Structure 1
Amino acid sequence: MTLEILSTNRSHGGTQGVYKHASTTTGTDMSFAVFVPDHAPGAKLPVLWYLSGLTCTHANVMEKGEYRAACAEHGVIFIAPDTSPRGEGVPDDPEGAWDFGLGAGFYVDATEEPWAANYRMRSYVEDELPSLILREFPAADMTRQAISGHSMGGHGALTVALRTPDRFRSVSAFSPIVAPLQCPWGEKALSNYLGEDRAAWSVYDACALIAGGARVPDLLVDQGEADGFLAEQLKTHLLVEACELAGQKAEIRMQPGYDHSYYFISSFMAEHVAWHAERLKA
């Protein structure tokens, strides 16, 4: 597998790169971003994954997330995959809607046609991309990993971590979709990607996973109180209730005045990086 370098830039005493490779999982070319702080030869640095939200690529957090100074300060590698497969022949929402199809992979492995051939973001994030990082980025210490994400990517971070608790020391999220089985975005995506059997959806629902016994070592969530999607789509209170009922350790913070945008994410990104860095110490 050949890794193509699309760009590299110096930033905050480190290197911000964007890369592309031919994915055997999605059957498409996939791009992703990696920030590597400067480090001594042979040093190993912990890894923080960031999963982006609806309509996004790696570029949104790379350009607006303001994570590099904090990652350089704490010596943390930051990895941002794309949100869905892309390219000629990859199916999109037949009505051209923004909440499904291209840019809206929901971090699932689709089982329904025509999505099943390409929409396999769960396997891409859980298996293929980590294997590539291990091979191509020798500074990445894959024994010290954490994960974060925003909105649909917050859903992805929570569910990936809950399904693979031994992989991540910590998980955080900004404005996550916490219960896709109970919101329009989730119902549309999961019914199309997975079919009508709702029992098959539960492995992609953070609240259902927690209720079923899944746990993560440590959880931090920030949610803006002025988020226009909060009541209908995000339903943060369901995660609070699920964690309290199950005894899952969690700090879930409602932030007055903040919305769903990167103005919100960038305001708290450095705190999240520092919080993860503390838990990623050797």
Structure 2
Amino acid sequence: MNDPSMCIARDHFASTSAGRDVDYQVLLPSDWEEGERLPLVLHLHGAMSSSASLELARPFYEDLLQRGEFPRAVVACPSTPTAGGFYMDWPDGASWEALITDEFPEHLAVKYGPFTETALIGASMGGYGALKVAFGDPDRFAAVAAISPAVFPGETPEDVPQPNLPSVLGDLHQAMANGSGDADTYVGNSVYGRARFNAHRIRDTALPILVDCGAADEFLLHEGADYLHGVLTELGIAHEFRLVEGAGHVGPAADARTRDAIRFVGAALGPFRRSNHGVHAAGEHRG
């Protein structure tokens, strides 16, 4: 098992949680053998995207594996919808969070597991989903990395300024309250609400957390990321915060930031596990 390359497998399964067939892609070592126990990394894509997101990230995973900066692992990305999805459980519809937390990993475990541990990484909408899932049950995860996460500078439906709600972000904002404006439902679907409710568990597990955002994000997500940094600091939750000067939501810095996030997750897994994760100041970026 010395081949440093990785291969993509494409598949689908009938999801009870989603009430439909769900396409997904899996990235794994080219010389993976049945029975080999590896960690699982759930790679969550952004809005208006799909499991094809993993194909775009494949060169980063493969290069870091070759460099010894990412362990042998199974990386998997399911296709989830934006409208009616948003990595949420809908009261009268599909349960997309349950798909991520339970059904999809269980399905993967039959084919590629059992897994030694599970980590989460996501960008934009996927960053929101990764943080929400991790903070909802921190004991289950080895690490979480969020790149330009779709989080807002406010904790209730009324707190979020209108400029922070363009297009799909406005849809997410409404969806967090299931379209009702109910504050309790909104908080239950909020990264901040999960962090506050489970702060003691997150601290006790010393969950490695990365929040990375460009300081020139076109959708003003840097304001939400900075707000999240403040909440986690207030709660005494250790995390790594990177606000990258001049970087937007996409652009030249995006590839380097994605690589760094993958490296961060890799450092928390198995033999790569690092013992300390600290809080870093806004503006710091580690390459």
Does 1:238 find its partner at 2:218? no
Alignment length (residue pairs): 246
Match of residue 134, structure 2, among 161, 164, 183 = 161
Structure 2: distance between partners of 1:109 and 1:250: 27
Structure 2: distance between partners of 1:60 and 1:34: 11
Question: TM-score, with normalisation over the residues of structure 1?
Answer: 0.79
Structure 1: distance between partners of 2:28 and 2:85: 26
Does 1:31 find its partner at 2:28? no
Q: How does 1:1-282 map to 2 (within 5 A)?
A: 13-39=5-31, 41=33, 42-63=35-56, 66-70=59-63, 72-73=65-66, 74-84=71-81, 101=83, 105-111=85-91, 116-118=92-94, 120-138=95-113, 141=115, 143-179=116-152, 181=156, 182=160, 184=165, 185=169, 186-191=172-177, 193=178, 195-214=180-199, 215=202, 217-230=207-220, 235-261=224-250, 263-282=252-271
Q: Matched residue of 2:186: which SS?
A: helix
Residues 1:58 and 1:40: Cα distance change in structure 2 (over 3 Å) = closer
Deviation at 1:136, TM superposition (A): 1.4
Residues 1:71 and 1:166: Cα distance change in structure 2 (over 3 Å) = farther
Structure 1: distance between partners of 2:28 and 2:239: 29
* TM-superposition CA deviations, 1:70-97 (whole Å, max 9, x none): 463321221111122xxxxxxxxxxxxx
Structure 1: distance between partners of 2:148 and 2:11: 27
Q: Is the 8 A contact 2:22 2:80 kept in 1?
A: no
Q: Is the 8 A contact 2:7 2:27 kept in 1?
A: yes
RMSD, matched Cα:
2.4
Structure 2: distance between partners of 1:34 and 1:65: 10
* TM-superposition CA deviations, 1:143-176 (whole Å, max 9, x none): 3111010111101000100111111111111000
* TM-superposition CA deviations, 1:2-58 (whole Å, max 9, x none): xxxxxxxxx962221111111111111100111011346432221111111111111
**Which stretches in structure 2 are left out of the alignment for 5+ residues?**
272-287
Structure 2: distance between partners of 1:59 and 1:77: 16
Deviation at 1:122, TM superposition (A): 0.7
Q: Matched residue of 1:32: which SS?
A: strand
Q: Which has the higher strand share?
A: 1
Question: TM-score, with normalisation over the residues of structure 2?
Answer: 0.77
Structure 2: distance between partners of 1:219 and 1:240: 11
**Which stretches in structure 1 are left out of the alignment for 5+ residues?**
1-10, 85-99
Q: Is the 8 A contact 1:70 1:274 kept in 2?
A: no
